[in-house]
Structure 1
Amino acid sequence: MTYGYIRVSTNKQTVENQRFEILEFCKKQNITVDSWIEETISGTVEPKKRELGKLLECVKKDDLIICSELSRLGRSLFMIMSVLNILMEKGARVWTIKDNYRLGDDIQSKVLAFAFGLSAEIERNLISQRTKEALALRKNEGKKLGRPVGSTSKKSKLDGAELEVSVMLLAGISVNQMAKLYGTHRKTVKLFISKNQLDTGANLAGLRELMRG
C-alpha cells in the first residue's frame, strides 16, 4: 500500500503543490498512490491528534508513505524521529522528495533509529534533573529567572544534540540533511560539529563501541 501524505499549516495554504510534487515523483518512480491523507494543521500538534496518527496506527509492513519533505511529519526533531521510529518498528517505509530521505531496511535507517532511541532515553532521564538543578542554582545566586528585557538568546537549536549529530555522522547523513532536520543553516551545523569535534576519529570510534555494547 502506498500513501501520499500532505500537510499544510493554515487554510490559506494549498495542498495542490504538495500533491503535484508527489504525483510527479511517483510518475518518475513508476509508483501508484493508493490512498491520500491530507490535513490542515500545525506541525507542532502531536501526531496522535492528527490524521497522521491514524495513518501510523493502520500502516503495515512494507507500506510506503511519500511526502514532500520531513517537516511535513512534524516541526521538531524529536517529533519527526518518533514518527520514523514507529514506522520503522512496523517495517513501513518513508520517502521524502525535497530532502531525498529514505527510511527502509538499511543500515542508515537502523543507525538513525538507534540514535533516536538512545537520545530519547537519555533525555527522559536527565531533562527534569537538569532543569531543576539549573533553576535552583540561579535562584541561589539571586538571579531572576527568564531572559532580561531587550536581550537576545545565544542558545542554538543544536545545543545538547552532540550524540544525535555524532550518530548521524556515523550513518553518513549529510550536513544539509541535518540542517533540514533541525531547521537551521548548514553553516550552523558545520560550526557545531567542528566546535565540538564530533567528526574526529576518536569520537566516532567511541560511538561505534557504544553501539556494539
Structure 2
Amino acid sequence: MKAVIYSRVSTDEQNPRSQLQVVREYALSKNYTIMEVFEENISGSVHPLDRPIFKSMLNYVKDVGAEVIVMYDITRFYRPPAGKVVDALSILRNIIDEYNVLIDFAREPEIEDPLLAELWRFLKSWISAYERLQISMRTKYGLMRVKKEGRLYHKPDLIYYYAAWLYNKDLRDVTKEEYYNARRQLYNIIKKYWDDPRYKKSRIIEILSNNELKGMYMRFPKAPRKYITIYRLMKEV
C-alpha cells in the first residue's frame, strides 16, 4: 500500500528524528511503500486542517492516490481542547472519507485525559474494522475489474500456468479464451499418456515436467506437480 508519513512536533519537544525513525520502521514492517514524509513543527492543539504542512500532505495524498497516512500516535494527529475530544474522531472520519485513505498509528499513546484514552481505544477498534473493510472492498472491486476485462480471477491452476507459458504472458494477463484454448491443448497432451497402459497415471506429471512441459516448469517452478492436478483435468474435460 502506498503511504505517506506525517510527523508533528511542538516547539518544546525534543528529538523529532527519533519519532520519525519509529514511524519509518513501523511503516516498513507493515509493507507500506513510503511515498513522501511530511514534517511539521506546530502545537497539537491546532486543528489539523489549519496546519499548512498537514493540508499540503492531504493534497499530495489526493494527487498520488496514497492509501495510508502513518503517524507516531494519535496525539500527533490532534490534541483537542477540553470537552471537544469527540471532535478528533469526527475530523478523522471526514479525512478518511474525503481522501479515501486509512490513518495508521505506530505507537500506543501515553494519554492522561480519560476521555481521550477512551477515544483511542475506540479508534483502534474502528481503524482495524475499517482496514478490513477496505481490503475487502479493494478485493471485490479488483475482481470485478478483472472479470470485466475478460481475465481470470481465481487461484492459478496448471492450465493457467500453461496458458501463460503458451501465450508468453504474465499470469494475471491470461484471458478466458486463452485459458480454454490452453485447456484443450493440455488435455490432448496428457491424453496420449493417460490412455497408454505403459505409463502409470501417477507418473504422468513427472514425465511431462521433463518433456512437453519442461519449458513451462522452468519459467513457473511453482506450477502444480501433483497427480490430482491432471486427474481433475481428465475427469472434467
TM-score w.r.t. structure 2 length? 0.40
Bigger CA radius of gyration: 2
Indicate the structure whose relative CO is greater, using CA pairs within 8 Å and at least 6 residues apart.
1
TM-score w.r.t. structure 1 length? 0.44
More helix by percentage: 2
